[in-house]
Structure 1
Amino acid sequence: MLEPLATAHLPPGVRARHIAHVNGLRMHVLEAGEAGRPLLLLLHGFPELAYSWRNIMLPLAEAGYHVVAPDQRGYGRTEGPVPVYDEDLTPYGPLGYVRDALALVAALGHTEVACVIGHDFGAPVAGNAALARPDVFRAVVMMSAPYGGPRAWPLGEQAVAEGLAGLASPALHAALARLDPPRRHYQWFYSTREADADMHRAPQGLHAFLRAYYHHKSADWAANKPHPLGDFTAEALAVMPTYYIMPAGLGMAATVAAEMPDAAAIAANRWLPEAALAVYAAEYGRTGFQGGLQSYRCTTSGQAAAEMRLFAGRGIEVPACFIAGSSDWGVHQKPGEFERMQGQNSKDAGCRDLRGCHLVPGAGHWVQQEQAEVVAGLVRAFLKGLSPG
């Protein structure tokens, strides 16, 4: 059995432990604050860990909360079935992660969560939890990935299978391949059998790969200047940086290698110093990336959309907040999703009670790490505005 993450890697006041029998997992969690206080559940993204929340956990605990951040299924020091390419993806589907979250809440001795907070792929997990069980997840903060909500069923007989839309569309994949130069969507690459080895065994080394990847998607990469894209077409998507719309002939390791920061930039990085990056490299060096990649395969196969059709036309009704970096292309990578999330006067809005939408200057995709103090302040202000109890 793995030991919890060493205290030496964590800020004072943040502790690590394992919790057994959490929906079939031995779940590794970081936590701060006293167990008897209202619960905040923090859900990381890809390629991240519970460790990604390290710098905002104590400020949230000091506001009077029990703050818990798990390594999600397939990540870090959470133990369970070893992720392999040829396996049933159901546990990695949208509701699979919600079941994990519910099981963790119960294992912690809580019956409800004051707020579930998610970043990157953790944002839709948080959003789906609030959508599916608003009686448990009483408020939600989503970071970097807007939540447009499950689409309503189209009326009438359809000419094509409704599920083959958006990122699950083979036609979109083919259209990207026809561009000059040919391109492919990163989620389609992440869905391939070779994606795990491409990153895990990156020619430049795993540490260097992660450095380039995190840099490329951050505000430190000056060319990150996101804007709305309009249509969900190959031509519209192709304006995004290569970490989203990749050269067709390259894997992710080679794609981000071209944007590796120099030694001076690395030394100047305060939000992800080398010692912190080494924690990620050690964890992913041990596990590889397949556990995280499974959720992308659920998306590109259409499985995720099909699973969420149970909630077709519904939106999140508990109080919600959205936070992202002003330099984060993730806000616009799914055209129309950011706008749909905010459509409070529309019956099909993703969030029916959106109380804040913040684009943080000086941050790219890793907003809670790049601007930890600002993000902690925004979350605390949102929590303070919620009704007592």
Structure 2
Amino acid sequence: MDQIKHNFIEVNGLNLHVAEIGSESSPAVIFLHGFPEIWYTWRHQMIAVANAGFRAIVPDYRGYGLSDIPEEPEKTSFFDFVKDTASILDYLNISKVFVIGKDFGSMVGYTFALFNPQKVAAIVSLGVAFRPPGSRAHQALPEGYYINRWKEPGRAEADFGRFDVKTVVKNIYIIFSRSEIPIANENQEIMDLVDPSTPLPSWFTEDDLAVYGDLYQKSGFQTPLQVPYRILNSKVEVSKQAPKDLKVEAPTLLIMGEKDFVFGLPGTAEYIRSGEVKKYVPNLETIYIAEGSHFVHEQFPDQVNQLILNFLNCHKH
């Protein structure tokens, strides 16, 4: 971890934090995190790809981790993250990149690939298959579903505000590590889904939690609640600007944990297992990890690293 360099890159009027490891002359891999993650979620993968002869580039999105918080977080769009990704790569003078995304970071990566197909060597996605803009896997879920709750301005703030930042991150890690879809009853909030005595998952240490806690202490949750949750209705902006043919042509590896709660969302397992997703991602290979949770890359780092490296080496020119 000591070899990881931390830089700040000024793009689109903000200083964005970018963690890096590996030689500048090596093939570049950009890692895009989900929520509640920050750059640190990729610690195992960064070191593995660097040791295998790649250059790992891992930004914190605007408003996350060590990156600047935008002046008006509530106006941040999903597309800002896509533009920031492109700007970081331009700044670093990288013309071709492997894209690795987790959770909604996969959607940032897929969208970047739709707009910049010539810049993407291949894509690895953890936990989220490409869906065309406007598809709604969670529409059928009840009011207490965590996304429905977090979309509501002020609701998560009041819920999270009862605890210190570290406890909020701990609770979200516990909730998202389960295979059940996080749904609160009418008279409870999402944080109430965790009994205070519940331990952290075995693969996530108190030291890991302390890093997350410090970083969210700095950034707060306003931008993370805005993107991905409160912009869900504005994904349409992508479809207005996107190429007519919504196909991700780059070779793509989808790694799904069988115990990932996302797999339980209405229609998701069928969409992936039936191969319907290949209408949009024709060069797709999917690998399932039997006990894998929503955080499969932190839970089984050696297995995931091996899958990633096999794939990158296959598509390295």
* Structure 2 length-normalised TM: 0.89
- Indicate if the aligned counterparts of 1:141 and 1:323 stay in contact, CA closer than 8 A: yes
Percent identity of paired positions between Structure 1 and Structure 2 = 26
Whether 1:202 and 2:162 are equivalent positions in the alignment is yes
Amino acid at match of 1:216: I
Give the secondary structure class of the aligned counterpart of 1:247.
coil
Rg larger in 1 or in 2? 1
Relative distance call for 1:250 and 1:313 in structure 2 (3 A) is farther
Q: Counterpart of 1:26?
A: 15
1:139 paired to 2:99: no
SS in 2 for 1:145: coil
RMSD: 2.5
Amino acid at match of 1:278: A
Residue 46 of structure 1 deviates from its aligned partner by 0.5
In 1, are the aligned partners of 2:21 and 2:47 still within 8 Å (CA)?
Answer: yes
Aligned to 2:204: 272
Amino acid at match of 2:234: Q
1:320 partner amino acid: T
Residue identity matched to 1:250 = Q
* Corresponding residue of 1:15: 5
Does the 8 Å CA contact 2:174/2:194 hold for their aligned counterparts?
no
- CA displacement, residues 195-226 of structure 1 (integer Å, 9 cap, x when unaligned): 442354234x33233223212322xx4xx2xx
Structure 1 runs not aligned, ≥5 long: 1-10, 151-162, 177-182, 225-239
Distance 1:18 1:107, change over 3 A: same
Question: Matched residue pairs, number?
Answer: 315
Report what 1:349 is aligned to: 279
Which of the numbers 81, 96, 112 marks the counterpart of 1:129? Answer: 112
Is residue 281 from structure 1 mapped to residue 205 from structure 2 by the alignment? no
- Asked whether the 8 Å contact 1:210–1:281 carries over to 2, the reply is yes
In structure 2, what is the equivalent of residue 336 of structure 1? 267
Going from structure 1 to structure 2, the CA distance change for 1:347 and 1:206 (only over 3 Å counts) comes to closer
Corresponding position: 1:385 with 2:317: no
**Cα distance, 1:361 vs structure 2:** 3.1
Q: Please list, as runs of the form range in 1=range in 2, the aligned pairs for 1:283-362 lying within 5 A after superposition.
A: 283-295=215-227, 296-299=229-232, 302-309=233-240, 310-311=242-243, 314-333=246-265, 335-340=266-271, 349-354=279-284, 356-362=285-291
Cα drift, residue 144 of structure 1: 0.9
Give unpaired runs (5+ residues) of structure 2.
Answer: none
Higher helix share: 2
Q: Distance in 1 between matches of 2:273 and 2:63?
A: 32
Name the CA shift for 1:291/1:15 in 2 (closer, same or farther; >3 Å): same
Match of 1:257 in 2: 194
1:40 pairs with one of 25, 29, 36: 29
- The change in CA–CA distance for 1:83 and 1:359 in structure 2 (over 3 A counts) is farther
8 Å contact kept, 1:149–1:316: no
Distance 2:156 2:15 in 1: 23
Write the mapping of 1:101-250 to structure 2, written as runs, cut at 5 A: 101-113=85-97, 115-150=98-133, 166=136, 172=140, 176=142, 183-198=143-158, 200-203=160-163, 205-218=164-177, 221=178, 224=179, 240-241=180-181, 243=182, 245-250=183-188
User: Aligned with 1:139: secondary structure?
Assistant: strand
Counterpart-to-counterpart distance in 1, 2:289 and 2:42: 17
